[in-house]
Chain A
Amino acid sequence: MRPLKDILSHLLDIPDDRTTPERYRIVRRNIATLMLIITVVPLSLMTVINYFEYQTALRNEILAPMRALVNKAKYSFELFLAGRLSTVNFIASAYTYEELADDKNLNRIFRVLKKEFEGFVDLGLIDSRGTQVSYAGPYDLHGKNYAGQGWFEQVKVNGVYISDVFKGYRRFPHVAIAVQHITDDGKEWIVRATINTAKFDDLITSMNLDPESDAFLINRQGVFQTKSKFYGEVLDQSPLELPKSFEPAVIEKKDTLGRDIFLVYSYFNRSDFIFVLIKPRSEVMKAWYTLRADLLIVFLIGLVAIIVVVLRLTDIMMKRMKESDDKRLLAMREMEHSHKLSSIGRLAAGVAHEVNNPLAIINEKAGLIKDLIEFASSFPDKEKFLSLVGAIIQSVERCRTITHRLLGFARRMDVEIQILDINDVIRETLGFLEKEALYKGVTINLDLDENLPRVPSDRGQLQQVFLNLLNNALAAMEKGGAISISSFTKDDKMLGVIVEDTGQGMSEETLKHIFEPFFTTKKAGQGTGLGLSITYGIIKRLGGDVEVQSRLGEGTRFTVYIPKESPEQAGT
């Protein structure tokens, strides 16, 4: 159990410290492996179990009818032999010795016998000393003595005898049947008849075996008693060994032709015969082979389906996971960015506040100097001093502009919310810049959504936003180029305005800092670096958002989102 748990926990352990693509690869591999294991293992197990279960069940199902067939055939043979035996027995019992000893009588009986029962070849009477007394049949055996022969001794002991098959009259295979009769007064005689075994072949033919199968009788010495299709003629020695067990049984072996065969046999009860049925394995197990192929196909299709589905599923899962990870990362980055901007903003505001007081002192001191010089009736180098002080006061003024802009004081104080048509605001703002655009040879393309809903916002602040963006766009183009402005509805909460130029664009590095105060790419003294920072502040205050995309040498696109609902935190 422990190693299993280890493997499982290893598979479920998703590394957090790896680089992203490798991490996804490992997760994907682990999940796929796990899913494959828990699906393929039971499937394989089921298949293997079914394989063996079916094999056993089907084998029994196939072999049972073979056994039954063999037994049935054996009984037919025994019935046939028993019938002939009882007929001979009847003749021995029904007639007296004298009647049987008379050749004329015996011939008459033989004729009736041949008419009623097929297969009888001859009939004869033998006395207790073994001498042939009378005979009806093709040979002249009168006076022949059988004393000392095996079959004669057996019939004296058992009362009946059925011989093995032998080639007799006209070279046909025959079987001899002998019955001993003992009268009440102790007189004894033996009636012996020969029957040909054509009937045996009929019985085997009536089994309707398929061409690949074989059935025959052999005796206990392994000599064929009937003709075999594959293994030999009558009285040949059989090449197939049989176990010396009287229980009917099925054995599997290779025959002399090299085929795998099922051999079913049954020993006769009252004679030396053994009935044997041989079927080639391939024939018998045909149903099993079909089933096995079906099983294999189902297994393989299932396996392929599982693998395909598992891999697809894992792919989809990984894609989703990656997407949500990316989204999360992006959201985190954006949050970080806005955090950074707001802390920079707070820092700048703090500095601006603190600088204002000393600036005020410098301003007043310099002002006082200026006053004193101006009020004095005579002052050496008066003009020179006045210009020096003037420069101080001008510099203070410049600082004041910066701190006041930083603190957002250059604008009207209150956010003044009114219902606005954003398109109108854009057109109005464009009016301020048309001349400059014309002068620079910049084309302005307007693509305004006329179905834009009117929204509550601050006209002046929005104008400042658009003015800033348009100014930047103009500044980004040396000569010629185009500015495209479009408005659209983003979703049920926001509408958007895109300001796009074909100017010089910005690098990744510049983009990162673009909304930070004092960040500027202009030459020192030409820009305060506050424009976009203030723009950002205004848009945030209005409850909106701003995005920027840019590529060096291709242009820049600002997208401003304005909420459709009145911003609740306006003015704070």
Chain B
Amino acid sequence: MKEFKVLMVDDEEDFVRTLDERIQMRNLDTSVALSGEEAMKKLEEDPPDVLLVDLKMPGMDGMEVLRRAREAYPGVQVVMLTGHGSEADEVEARRLGVFEYLRKPVALDQLMRTLKAAYKKKLEETMVAASFAEEGDFDSAREIMKGHDKNK
């Protein structure tokens, strides 16, 4: 049984495939999207626990993916991994609710730690949602768990 599920979005196929392979070796369930549009489709079909997204991509860029993902699937934690971002980009990403903003190249250990931390946060949010549900506040619970309900 894989620990949790990660969707990786990057237009640099060479990079993302290699990374995918390595993360799979570390017992995570992974899938890959090569563009923002493809990522949105995969989010719809099979929402992951954590979304790892590159910033600069042709077409829909990472920032847009982040914005939409946070809006439509608030339960999914987003980690941004980019070689291009400026400080202003980071400020903007944090404003949009990115879990962490990492810069390429990144050591795999650090990436794994970040992904796990993101997953942990997601679990915590699920628990918060559950506690809301226990108290009968299903609206809030549903709001928090929007991304998960479909999965289950």
Contact = CB atoms under 8 A, between A and B. Distances in A.
Interface residues of A, number: 26
Contacts of B12: 357, 360-361
A356 B87 contact: no
A107 interface: no
Nearest to B104: A360
A413 B104 contact: no
Interface string A358-377: 01111111011001000100
A357 B15 contact: yes
A272 interface: no
A41 to B, nearest CB: 70
A356 B107 contact: no
B26 to A, nearest CB: 8
Contacts of A409: 87, 103
A359 B87 contact: no
A407 B14 CA distance: 24
Interface stretch (B17-25, B123-131, B136-144): B17-25
B56 to A, nearest CB: 9
A365 B108 CA distance: 11
Nearest to B13: A361
A377 to B, nearest CB: 14
Q: How large is the interface on B (under 10, 10 to 19, 20 to 34, 35 or more residues)?
A: 20 to 34
Contacts, number: 64
A353 B103 CA distance: 10
A408 interface: yes
A358 to B, nearest CB: 9
Interface string B1-34: 0000000000010110011011001000000000
Contacts of A359: 83, 104-105
Given A368-B22, A371-B25, A363 B87 contact: no
Nearest to A396: B105
Interface of B: 12, 14-15, 18-19, 21-22, 25, 83-84, 86-88, 90-91, 103-108
24 contacts: A357-B83, A360-B83, A360-B105, A360-B106, A361-B12, A361-B14, A361-B18, A362-B105, A363-B104, A363-B106, A364-B18, A367-B18, A368-B22, A371-B22, A397-B107, A399-B105, A400-B105, A409-B87, A409-B103, A413-B87, A413-B90, A414-B87, A571-B91, A572-B88
Return the 9 tightest CB-CB contacts between A and B, nearest first.
A356-B83, A360-B104, A363-B105, A360-B105, A364-B18, A357-B83, A359-B105, A361-B15, A356-B104
Given A357-B15, A357-B84, A404-B103, 9 more contacts: A356-B104, A356-B105, A357-B104, A361-B15, A363-B105, A367-B18, A368-B18, A375-B25, A413-B90
